[in-house]
Amino acid sequence: MIFSVVIFFVHCNNDFTGSILFGFILGISLFTIHSFFREAKEDSTK
């Protein structure tokens, strides 16, 4: 869902602002996924 919106954004405005927005969203999503997996791993070790 989010990735399709990001791809749509990059295709619509293929400029410097679009690439900055893409990197910003990608970084946030990666950080969220990383923290989510870390919490799940801590729950499984309990």
Per-residue pLDDT at 21: 77
- Euclidean distance between CA atoms 36 and 25, whole angstroms: 16
What is the domain count for the chain?
Answer: 1
pLDDT tens digit string along 9-42?
666 666 667 677 778 888 898 899 888 888 888 8
φ, ψ for residue 14 (rounded to 5)? Answer: -90, 65
Q: How confident is the model at residue 3 (pLDDT cuts 50, 70, 90)?
A: low
Whether 5 has a pLDDT exceeding 80, the answer reads no
Q: What is the residue range of 10's domain?
A: 2-45
Using CA atoms, how far apart are residues 46 and 27, in angstroms rounded to an integer? 29
